[in-house]
């Protein structure tokens, strides 16, 4: 990959015109996050960029945000890939995890602040929904370890700064970080934890993926990066942390204690309520010299967290459909930019092999994830092109037969849920149904369109590139027609 750590990556972003530095002084208690919101509210996705605030009131540290999840283009840069290769890169990494390399020392330990001198209020932690959030909060890579297996987990959890040396983790029994905490707490022991802020982007990318238990995100990060992530042992806890992290907060999770956490602005777009959460006492803060603080712009979509989680989730679902459930004909998955990229609408591209196949895959996605609505489309449809999706919704879905409603699904942060927390899910089969007769596309045939493209070059009309989806769609429809005319659509129709 073209970068070694976060600061190296900033250079890459800048060279692609995707980083803007803010020299003016900004107040982290409201101004910084409100300005970051304008990146998402004021610009269409393809024009968004990361922000580096270089003059933050009350701190000598610069603060970055939207550095990884400003847009799909920026996300691809963080992966060292093009947007078209995001899924291939993820699938390769999930299939070939690369263990980290333990080194004796690293820049993350250049400065060590011992327990008695720890003061979290000295960090430039922004308030992300000013006027509504109870306090500033850190969202970073939270590293924990299973007491028995020794396997580490990294999850992005909200960390509320409760005092100058106490932090609550917004995690619940469904999360692996919580399960690791319990592996110690069940024996009355304090669990080690480290919060890594500003890591090499591959670590952030892997951390936002909901991977199966026992799969260490650090290994997937190494595979995404194409080389092992260098790690060092924590100064006060037995946790391996990224050696090139900008800042690491180490601590011990209290085995029985709870503190009230929240409310904060949530990823689904609404304010969340306060709840009791586990907490830790900070045992040390380590950082690089002149550290850069990195915080995600999360909360109301569109947001950085929605982009990051959506990309990771669509790749993990894609991988699981093929490698776990054997659905070899699935060729793409896209998750729209709502509900944290976690609980929104997924579009799955596949070739159905038998009647009811697409609905089966749609039901699988609903059951294995938090996704609320799944549309199944054929391989010729671009899952990220809204006009294609509107077209198939309007022309290929018969609401009387092609919609599956799943009742009593467990949801969270879904305003449509009932008092018991239940809502519903929906599967929409927008594939061409096997055995049904469909006519040809009302577009000129490919050879004539391509010839006209040549004619176009002979004029002074504005230049353009033929979008891949046009070629793909024309080819796919031609093949579909050929097969159905011969009455052997995949041997079944």
Residues making contact with ligand FMN (CB under 6 A): 139, 153, 155-158, 170-171, 175-177, 208-210, 296, 298, 305, 308-309
Two tokens at 183? 């592996």
Q: Measured from the CB atom, is 87 or 339 closer to ligand FMN?
A: 339
DSSP 107: G
Kindly tell me which of 311 and 431 has the beta carbon lying closer to ligand FMN. 311
Least distance to ligand FMN, CB of residue 313, Å: 8
Residue (of 25, 83, 32) closest to 55 by Cα position = 25
Nearer CB in complex with ligand FMN: 13/211: 211
Which of 216/327 has CB closer to ligand FMN? 216
| Neighbour-count burial of 368, counting CB atoms closer than 10 A to its CB (0-12 exposed, 13-18 middle, 19+ buried) | middle
Q: Distance between CA atoms of 223 and 229, rounded to whole angstroms?
A: 9
Selection from 391, 396, 394 nearest residue 430 by Cα = 396
Q: Which residue is nearest to ligand FMN (CB)?
A: 155
Burial grade of 242 (CB within 10 A; 0-12, 13-18, 19 or more): buried
CB of 365 to ligand FMN, least distance (A): 16
Cα–Cα distance measured from residue 203 to residue 23, given in angstroms and rounded to the nearest whole number: 28
Of the pair 139, 375, the CB lying nearest ligand FMN is at 139
Angle at CA 65, nearest 5°, toward 261 and 232?
80
Rounded-to-integer distance, Cα 341 and Cα 21, Å = 27
Nearer to ligand FMN by Cβ, of 171 and 431: the residue is 171
Distance of CA 342 to the CA centre of its chain: 8
The answer to whether residues 218 and 240 touch, using CB atoms and an 8 Å cutoff, is yes
Nearer to ligand FMN by C-beta: 9 or 296? 296
CB within 8 A of 60, min separation 6: which ones? 290
Indicate the burial class of 343 (C-beta count within 10 angstroms; 0-12, 13-18, 19 or more).
buried
Q: How far is the CB of 431 from ligand FMN (least distance, A)?
A: 29
Distance of closest approach, residue 33 Cβ to ligand FMN, in angstroms: 13
- Tell the smallest beta-carbon distance from residue 360 to ligand FMN (Å): 25
Shortest distance (Å) from residue 139 CB to ligand FMN = 4
Q: How many CA atoms lie within 13 A of 46 on its CB side?
A: 1
If the CB atoms of residues 127 and 171 are measured against ligand FMN, the closer one turns out to be 171
Taking the complex as a whole, the smallest distance from the CB of residue 170 to ligand FMN amounts, in Å, to: 4
d(CA 118, CA 164) in angstroms, rounded, equals 7
Shortest Cβ 316–ligand FMN spacing (Å): 9
């Amino acid at each position: 990959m073209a970068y070694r750590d976060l600061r190296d990556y900033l250079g890459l972003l800048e060279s692609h015109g995707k980083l803007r530095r803010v020299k003016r002084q900004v107040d982290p208690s409201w101004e910084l996050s409100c300005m970051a919101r304008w990146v998402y509210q004021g610009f269409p996705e393809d024009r968004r960029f990361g922000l580096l605030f270089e003059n933050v009131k009350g701190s000598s540290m610069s603060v970055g945000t939207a550095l990884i999840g400003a847009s799909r283009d920026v996300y691809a840069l963080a992966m060292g890939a093009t947007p078209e290769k995001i899924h291939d890169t993820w699938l390769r990494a999930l299939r070939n995890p690369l263990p980290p390399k333990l080194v004796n020392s690293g820049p993350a330990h250049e400065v060590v602040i011992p327990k008695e001198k720890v003061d979290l209020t000295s960090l430039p932690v922004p308030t992300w929904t000013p006027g509504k959030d109870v306090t500033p909060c850190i969202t970073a890579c939270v590293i924990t370890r299973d007491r028995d297996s020794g396997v580490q987990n990294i999850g992005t959890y909200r960390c509320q700064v409760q005092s100058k040396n106490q932090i609550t983790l917004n995690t619940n029994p469904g999360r692996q970080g919580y399960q690791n905490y319990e592996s110690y707490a069940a024996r009355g022991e304090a669990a080690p934890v480290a919060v890594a802020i500003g890591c090499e982007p591959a670590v952030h990318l892997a951390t936002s993926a909901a991977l199966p238990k026992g799969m260490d995100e650090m290994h997937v990060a190494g595979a995404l990066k194409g080389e092992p992530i260098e790690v060092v042992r924590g100064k006060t806890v037995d946790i391996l942390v990224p050696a090139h992290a900008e800042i690491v907060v180490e601590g011990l999770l209290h085995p029985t204690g709870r503190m009230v956490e929240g409310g904060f602005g949530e990823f689904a777009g609404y304010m969340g309520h306060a709840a009791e959460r586990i907490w830790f006492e900070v045992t040390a803060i380590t950082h690089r010299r002149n550290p850069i603080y990195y915080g995600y712009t999360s909360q109301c979509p569109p947001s950085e967290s929605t982009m990051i989680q959506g990309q990771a989730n669509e790749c993990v679902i894609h991988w699981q459909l093929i490698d776990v459930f054997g659905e070899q004909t699935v060729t793409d998955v896209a998750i729209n930019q709502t509900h944290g990229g976690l609980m929104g609408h997924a579009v799955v591209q596949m070739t159905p092999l038998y009647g009811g196949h697409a609905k089966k895959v749609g039901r699988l996605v609903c059951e294995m994830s938090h996704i609320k609505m799944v549309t199944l489309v054929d391989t010729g449809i671009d899952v990220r092109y809204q006009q294609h999706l509107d077209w198939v919704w309007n022309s290929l879905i018969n609401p009387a037969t092609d919609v599956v409603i799943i009742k009593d699904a467990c949801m969270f942060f879904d305003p449509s849920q009932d008092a018991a927390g239940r809502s519903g899910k929906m599967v929409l089969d927008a594939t061409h149904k096997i055995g049904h007769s469909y006519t040809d596309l009302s577009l000129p045939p490919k050879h004539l369109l391509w010839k006209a493209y040549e004619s176009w070059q002979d004029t002074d009309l504005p230049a353009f590139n033929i979008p891949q989806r046009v070629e793909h769609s024309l080819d796919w429809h031609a093949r579909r027609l050929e097969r159905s005319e011969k009455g052997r659509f995949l041997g079944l129709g």
